[in-house]
Amino acid sequence: MAKDSRHSQMLRGVLDLCLLAVLDEGPAYGYEMTRRLRDRGLASVGEGSIYPLLGRLEREGLVETYRAASNGGPPRKYYRPSHAGRLALALGVSEWRAARDAIDAVLVQVKIEVAS
Amino acid sequence: MSDFVEQWRAELKRLGVPESIAEEMAADLGADIREAEADGISAEELLGSSASDPRAFAASWATERGLVQIRPDQATRRRGRLPLAAFTAVAAIALIVAAVLLATGEPKVALVTSGARPPHIPGSNASFVPPPGRVQASAAAPIEWILLFLALMALAFSGWLWRWRRGRSQLPIAPAQ
């Protein structure tokens, strides 16, 4: 339970970066983003988290939207990073790497492992 | 899942999200759910924990999109819930205590508790004498009835407060745009 909570909290802090990153690969609608995240192992991220976050990114001008027909389906709302969004992604990734390296430098000292 | 989408849409309507935008959001969500199900992913898996709370999901989405505004006093009102709950609990306990006292007759509360004989009143035929040491019920000081009355008043007041709070929380929130 505590493990799930920590995982959720860590993810919450960088989910906007993850969304901007998958959108940087190409425009996508809601479910397509979910699929891209799942393909990279983030299966626990539901649309209940994604859509509100996309709403915030849209409000902050970090993503642009347009409507277009999907493959054989109804027209969908596609998202893509704006110029400001790409800058925010670059800055966020830099911050993430710095934080990850600092944390790794601390945790690398730990010799304890979970018994399987 | 259609029930989920219905509740979700109802919440958007209650929040004052313009119909055309709500339609668009519902269309996107519905299309996602259908596509996920075609991929063998249930709606519950797709939505995560939000699957059990369509209203919160709708409010969160609309708020983050800037379609509705969160009133600044909402957090304050949430904090005020605990004292009100405590007040209601105390009133309920007082009501129960008063009811038990009235039902069992024990302990009776009186102003005079000594075992001494009551003073003789000339011309009076009063013959009841309470046993020594026993607390006498007194019509002049019906503590149980006063407690019952106060508890009922307190419960009525707290009930009114709860309804007032609920009414305020269900007021439509003005669209931000």
Q: Which residues between 135 and 154 in chain B have a beta carbon less than 8 angstroms from any beta carbon of chain A?
A: none
Question: Helix or strand or coil: residue B141?
Answer: coil
Is residue B86 situated within a structural domain? yes
Q: Is B7 on the interface with A (CB under 8 A)?
A: no
Cβ-nearest to A47 among B32, B39, B63:
B32
Q: How many Å is the maximal CA-CA distance in chain A?
A: 53
- The C-alpha torsion from B88 through B93 and B95 to B97, rounded to 10°, is -170
B51 and B91 housed in the same domain: no
Residue in B32, B51, B60 closest to A31 by CB: B32
All residues of chain B having their beta carbon less than 8 Å from the beta carbon of residue A77 are: 24, 28
Determine, for residues B39 and A35 on separate chains, whether the beta-carbon distance falls below 8 Å: yes
Written as six digits, the tokens of A97 are 């790497």
Mean pLDDT, all residues of chain B: 76
The domains of chain A, with CATH numbers, are 2-107 (1.10.10.10)
**Does position B127 have pLDDT exceeding 50, yes or no?**
yes
Q: How confident is the model at residue B111 (pLDDT cuts 50, 70, 90)?
A: very low
pLDDT of residue B173: 47
Reply yes or no on whether the pLDDT at B103 is more than 70: yes
Q: In total, how many domains does chain B have?
A: 2
Q: Are residues B136 and B104 in the same domain?
A: yes
Whether residue B149 sits in one domain with residue B88? yes
Question: Measured between beta carbons, which residues in chain B are less than 8 angstroms from residue A73?
Answer: 31, 35
Q: What angle do CA A24, B57, B42 make, to 5 degrees?
A: 75
Which pLDDT band holds residue B170 (cuts at 50, 70, 90)?
A: low
Residue-level pLDDT at A84:
97
Q: Are residues B45 and B108 in the same domain?
A: no
**Two structure tokens written together for A47:** 């649309």
Shared domain check, B155 and B118: yes
Which distant-in-sequence residues (6+ apart) come within 8 Å of A100 by Cβ? none
The token pair at A89 is 């992604």
Last residue of a domain, one of B43, B68, B93: B68
Give yes or no for a contact between A54 and B28, defined as CB atoms under 8 angstroms apart.
no
Band (pLDDT 50/70/90 cuts) for residue B128 is low
The residue segments making up the domain with residue B98 are 77-169
- The answer to whether A73 contacts B35, with C-beta atoms less than 8 Å apart, is yes
- Evaluate whether B2 touches B54 at the Cβ level (below 8 Å): no
pLDDT digits (tens, 9 = 90+) for B19-56: 999 989 988 998 999 899 999 998 888 888 888 889 99
**Is the domain of B128 the same as that of B61?**
no
Question: Measuring CA to CA, how many Å separate B141 from each of B5, B112, B145?
Answer: 60, 10, 9
Structural domain contains residue B55 = yes
| Residue B81 sits in the same domain as residue B152 | yes
For residues B6 and B84, state if they share a domain: no
B176 at interface of A, judged by CB pairs closer than 8 A: no
* Torsion, CA A20, CA A24, CA A30, CA A35, rounded to 10: -100
Tokens of B69: 């505004």
Q: Say yes or no: B84 and B113 in one domain.
A: yes
pLDDT of residue B176: 44
This model of the complex carries an ipTM of: 0.84
Residues B53 and B133 in one domain: no
Of A29, A45, A52, the CB nearest to B61: A52
Residues B30 and B108 in one domain: no
Most B-contacting residue of A51, A76, A77 (CB-CB within 10 A), to test interface: A51
- For chain A, 116 residues long, the average pLDDT of each consecutive 10-residue run is 76 93 96 94 88 94 92 86 97 97 94 81
Average pLDDT over residues B115-134: 56
Record the tokens describing residue B176, joined without a space.
């931000």
- B102 with B62, same domain: the answer is no
Residue with tokens 């000292």: A109
Q: Say whether pLDDT at B120 is over 80.
A: no
